[in-house]
Structure 1
Amino acid sequence: MLSAKSVFQEILDHDESFRLFCSIAASGESQGGWENARIAALVPPSERDLAPKISRHGADEDKHGRIFNALMRKRGLEPVPVPPETDYTMLLEQQGIGLAHEKLKADQPLTVQDVITYLAHSRVTEQRAADQMVMLRKFFADHPQVGNAVKMISHDEDNHLAYTHEELLRFAADGHGPYIQRTLRACALAEIRVYRDVSLATMAHMGGILGWPTAKSAVLAAGIDAMYAYERLGGWRRMVSLKTPDRRDALGGPATPAPELA
């Protein structure tokens, strides 16, 4: 039976598909680590109290990148170049979502609106990451090779999502609600398109590596398109709602190390 679990199991069991999956994931996490580190360094004076949380977010992303690289090393694998069409973070930036790298590479302080833009972008993308990790945790939490990594990363993504809710609600209370909602909506609608395109490209690469028949690839592509249609019709709204999280001050401490994995 073709299912999400069977597809991921097939990717996990084959060295080349596993290497590509981990390389794509590690690259995206490392990029997120760099972005958060730059944002933490450039926050405006009025938001300096937020800088340690942004740094913690970046440290978590760096850790996740090391975890994916460590998973490859344990199987004697080296990372491979990430195909551009599967580069989620780069494609989002090209859509104008989040803060441009040119801005982050400069040494000019960010504005409060820039910080809100960053948080709105994170609210949307962390929802995607948290949802993906919930699925992987359901299937592979007890897997001898990847189970610990899946549980650790899932815990961190839940923290990141809680943090974005809490901080955006704080800014909304300060009168930034309309800008937050406009930015969240724009981010969500762009993200669902990019996620669909990246998913189609990634599955095409996996199908080539694993020798999937045309019919199987077509069914998977149809499933991805169906998910996009659902999200375009209204599923995107789960990415823009804000509520007080159960986890308060989720990024108020140091990043959790992962010495056994990294």
Structure 2
Amino acid sequence: MLSARSLFQEIIDNDDSFQLFCSIAASGEAQGGWENARIAALVPESMRELAPKITRHGADEDKHGRIFNALLKKRGLEPVPVPPETDYTMLLERRGIGLTHDKLRRDEPLTEHDIVVYLSHSRVTEQRAADQMDMLVKHFADHPEVGRAIKMICNDEDNHLAYCHEELLRLARAGHGRTIQRTLRESALAEIEVYRDVSLAVMDHMGRILRWPRPKRAALALGIRGMYAFERLGGWRRMVDLRMPQRRNALGGPAEPAPVF
């Protein structure tokens, strides 16, 4: 029987598939760390109070990248190049979602609109990250090799999601509501397509590494497309609603270290 637990167990039990999985995850987290650091440096003066929280967000992402690289090192493995078709962050950028790397490389202050776009995009992608980490914690919280890592990352992703909700609600009250609503919808509809394509690409690579039989690979592809159909028909709406989180000021302090790694 195919299940998230059994599939992930296969991936972490094999050095080659584990190496690819951690490399993809570490690369994505490192990109997120760089992006948030640049955004924090370029925040407009009218929104400077957000800079420490954006910096904290970036520091958390950098920490997650180090954790995944540490998991590789503990097995005596090195990171491998990330196949471009599995690069979630860059594929989103190509779809016009979020702030482009070209803009972030310039030493020009961002606008208030840019920050609204950044937070709206983050609210969508952090929902995906939080959902994925919740699933991993559900099945692997007690795993001797990856359990502590995924629990730490899961807690951070919940903080990131809470931060996005709280700040977007504040900006909506300040008059940015229509922009936020429109950007959230555009981001969510693009994200579910990118997530489908990346999921298909990752499973294709894993299938070849683990030598999955053709019927198993076909069933997985069908499941991924089925999930996309569900999200396209309305499941995407969970990624755009805004509600005041229980965790208030979730990124109000320094990033928590990960000394165990």
Q: What TM-score comes out, normalization by structure 1 length?
A: 0.99
Find out whether 1:125 has 2:125 as its counterpart: yes
Counterpart mapping for 1:1-262 below 5 A: 1-261=1-261
Aligned letter for 2:136? L
Q: Over residues 130-151 of structure 1, what are the superposed CA-to-partner deviations in whole Å (9 max), with x where a residue is unaligned? A: 0000000001000000000010
Give the alignment's Cα RMSD to 1 decimal. 0.4
Q: Distance in 1 between matches of 2:203 and 2:226?
A: 15
Q: Over residues 21-60 of structure 1, what are the superposed CA-to-partner deviations in whole Å (9 max), with x where a residue is unaligned? A: 0000000000000000000000000111100000000000
DSSP-derived class of the 1:144 partner: coil
Q: Over residues 217-254 of structure 1, what are the superposed CA-to-partner deviations in whole Å (9 max), with x where a residue is unaligned? A: 00000000000000000000000000000000000000
Q: Distance in 2 between matches of 1:13 and 1:206?
A: 12
Aligned letter for 1:39? I
1:79 to partner: Cα distance = 0.4
1:122 to partner: Cα distance = 0.3
1:2 to partner: Cα distance = 1.4
Number of equivalenced pairs: 261
1:199 to partner: Cα distance = 0.1
Identity %: 76
Q: Distance in 1 between matches of 2:161 and 2:239?
A: 10
Q: Distance in 2 between matches of 1:140 and 1:102?
A: 38
Aligned letter for 2:128? R
Give every structure 1 segment of 4 or more consecutive aligned residues whose post-TM-superposition deviation is greater than 3 Å: none
Aligned letter for 1:78? E
Where structure 1 has 5 or more consecutive residues not aligned to the other structure, the ranges are none
Aligned letter for 2:43? V
1:153 to partner: Cα distance = 0.1
Q: What TM-score comes out, normalization by structure 2 length?
A: 1.00
